Amino acid sequence: MIKPPESINILQNRATLLAGKTVAEIASMQGKSIPENLVQAKGWMGEVLESALGASAGNKAQPDFVNLGIELKTLPINRQGKPLESTYVTTLPLTIRRTITWRESEVYAKLKHVLWIPIISERNMPVCERVIANPFLWQLPTEDEAILATDWQEIIDMVALGQITQLSGRFGVYLHVRPKAAHSRCLTDAFDNEGNLVQTLPRGFYLRAQFTQKILHQVFQ
């Protein structure tokens, strides 16, 4: 088991060493078997990379590298460097009973400092052949934070007002909400607009692909 990195430089060096390696090579280093596809194993890629880099948070609601305050995010891209999908951030709390601020939120904690790991992952490419591109560290810029905070507040306000049935992926400039469940029978509690507990699909916060494309453009252009 790899120990958590003691400094940002150590983490960055470890991540740099992964660049150019296939998923098969990294999985072999960790002694892990590779799923045929990631549809039913969505978190597998992140778990393998967390293990390879010494992440310590597990499934806790805090950044993956707890002592450094850095979150790891994988970013599937095509060969032209374009993100293939939106990026999961964290779960959306559906039974909010107290007022929280943006800076207190899990979304902010997960996005304020990120180790992005782009992975060349053409849709027809076998999982084992996918390749790690150049990982990079990124800190949330003030102008982007303002937009994300506005998106987050709009979504949280709708949940607090019991407007869960009206909440859809169309809300939010950079940050939006999508269902986060293995199937339609996975339900969780939420409040309706009269304060009654109802059952609904779990949901998660996601970054739109246009936002991660913007990040890639700023870093590599």
Over range 200-208, report the average pLDDT.
Answer: 93
Look at residue 51 in the predicted model and tell me its pLDDT.
92
Over range 18-33, report the average pLDDT.
Answer: 93
Higher pLDDT, 197 or 73: 73
Q: pLDDT by residue (tens digit) across 174-192?
A: 999 998 876 667 888 888 8
The DSSP secondary-structure symbol of 101 reads -
Is the overall model pTM greater than 0.85, yes or no?
yes
Q: pLDDT by residue (tens digit) across 151-161?
A: 999 999 999 88
Buried b (16+ CB within 10 A) or exposed e, 45-66: bbebbbbbbbbbbeeeeebbbe
Q: What does R_g of the chain's alpha carbons equal in angstroms?
A: 18
Look at residue 220 in the predicted model and tell me its pLDDT.
86
Give bridge partners of residue 182 from the DSSP assignment: none
Look at residue 78 in the predicted model and tell me its pLDDT.
95
Distance (Å, rounded) from C-alpha 92 to C-alpha 30?
Answer: 31
Over range 27-50, report the average pLDDT.
Answer: 84
Least confident span in 9-13, 21-25, 90-94? 90-94
Over range 106-131, report the average pLDDT.
Answer: 94
Buried b (16+ CB within 10 A) or exposed e, 93-132: bbeeeeeeebeebbbbbbbbbbbbbbbbbeeebebeebbb
pLDDT above 70: residue 170 = yes
Over range 15-38, report the average pLDDT.
Answer: 90
The CATH architecture of the domain made up of 8-220 is 3-Layer(aba) Sandwich (3.40)
Any idea where the domains of the chain sit in the sequence? Answer: 8-220
CA 103 to chain centre: 18
Q: pLDDT by residue (tens digit) across 123-152?
A: 889 999 999 999 999 999 999 999 999 999
Over range 188-215, report the average pLDDT.
Answer: 90
Distance (Å, rounded) from C-alpha 28 to C-alpha 25?
Answer: 5
Q: What percent of the chain has pLDDT over 90?
A: 65
The DSSP secondary-structure symbol of 83 reads B
Q: pLDDT by residue (tens digit) across 60-93?
A: 678 999 999 999 999 999 999 999 999 999 999 9
Q: What percent of the chain has pLDDT over 70?
A: 94
The DSSP secondary-structure symbol of 39 reads S
